[in-house]
Amino acid sequence: MEILSNDVISTSIIEGEALNRNEVRSSIAKRLGLSFAGMVPPSRDVEGIVEMMLDATQNYTEDISSEKLIGWHASLFPTGYSGMYKVLIGSWRDDSTGPMQVISGPIGREIVHFEAPAAKVLNKQMDQFIDWYNREDSLDKVLQAALAHLWFITLHPFNDGNGRIARALTDKKLAQAENSHFRFYSMSSQIKQEREAYYKILEQTQKGNLDISEWMLWFLDCLERAILNSETILAAVLKRARFWGLNKAQHFNKRQHKILDLLLDQFEGKLTAKKWAKINKCSHDTATRDINDLISKGILVKSPEGGRSTNYLLAEI
C-alpha cells in the first residue's frame, strides 16, 4: 500500500497535481481489502487515478486496447475537466486548437520543446503501438517498458494525461517482467526526484534521430535508483511493524494510538503537549497525562530542549 501510494502521488506531482495522501491511501486500502487508522473518503479524482494505476499492475497479464486506454483517460478526468479546461474524453486528440506542443516561456517568445505527430495519423500509429505492446517479443520486458514509455509519450494521443498513462503502461510492463503484481519500488517516485533530467532526456531523444540508446540507458539507470531507494520506504514500513510488534502487550488509548501512528509515519514538526491537544481536540491536562504515560512506558522521551521548547520523541526501537 505504501509503495502504491507513493506511485500514485508521485505520478500526479510530476504533472503538477498534488493529491491528498490520506485519500490516496484510503482508496488503495479499500481496493486491497486493507484498513488503517485515519481512513478518509477519497475524492473522485483520487479514485480515478488509483483505479488506473491498480488496473495496470494488478491486471498486468491483460492486453491493452484503445478502449482500455480511453477508459484510463476518462478515469483521470471524471468531471471532463482538467482544472478550468475542458478535456476531450472518449477519443484521441483532434488538434482542433492547433498542433499538440509542449512549450514554455512568455507569450511571443515561447520555446517549443516538442511537437507530437498530427492527429490525422493517430489512429494508425496507436494501432501499431497497441499491436506491438501486446505482442510477444524477444526483447526483454524491462527494455520494452522503457520503449513503451518513450513511444506512447511521443505519440501524445490525448490532450492531457499522457504522462500519467505512459507511466502506468511502464508499470504494467515492469509487472510483466517480474510476473507479479507486487512491486516494492516506485518508478514514478524516482522520476519525480529526477524530473528535470527526465524532461531533458525526453526532449533530447524526441528532437534527435531514431537512435534511442541514451534514453534506454537513462531509463535503466533510473530504474536501478528506484529499486535502491525503495529501501528507505521499506525501512519505514518495517520500523512501524517492529514497533507495534514490540508493544502489542501495551495498552494505548485512542489519542495515544493516533499520535504514535503519526510519529511512525509522516509527523510534521515537533511533538509538543499543545500540538497533542490540538490534534486530539482535548485539554492540555489530558495531553500531558497521555504523554507522561507514554514516557513511563518507555515509548516517548523528552527532548534535550527545556522550557517552552519542550517536545517529545519516540524512543529508539
Q: Cell for 60?
A: 498486468
Q: Which residues contact 177 (CB under 8 A, 6 or more apart)?
A: 140, 141, 142, 144, 145
Most confident of 62-71, 201-210, 273-282: 62-71
Candidate CATH numbers 1.10.10.10, 3.30.110.60, 2.60.40.10, 1.20.120.1200; the one for domain 254-314: 1.10.10.10
pLDDT of residue 197: 95
Mean pLDDT, residues 87-109:
84
47 has a pLDDT exceeding 90: yes
Q: For residue 297, which of 289, 307, 306 has the smallest C-alpha distance?
A: 289
- Does CATH place domain 2-233 in 1.10.3290.10? yes
37 has a pLDDT exceeding 70: no
Q: What is the pLDDT of residues 143-182, one digit of tens each?
A: 999 999 999 999 999 999 999 999 999 999 999 999 998 8
Can you list the positions of beta strands (E) in the chain? 81-82, 85-86, 101-104, 111-115, 300-302, 312-314
Range list for CATH 1.10.3290.10 in the chain = 2-233
Determine how many CB atoms are found less than 10 A away from the CB of residue 206.
18
Q: What is the pLDDT of residues 305-316, one digit of tens each?
A: 766 678 998 988
Worst-scoring range by mean pLDDT, 12-16, 172-176, 219-223, 308-312? 308-312
Give the distance, in angstroms, between the CA of residue 28 and the centroid of all CA atoms in the same chain: 11
Phi, psi (5° rounding) for residue 6?
-60, -40
Q: Is 215 helix (H, G, I), strand (E, B) or coil?
A: helix
Q: How far apart are CA 70 and CA 76, in angstroms?
A: 10
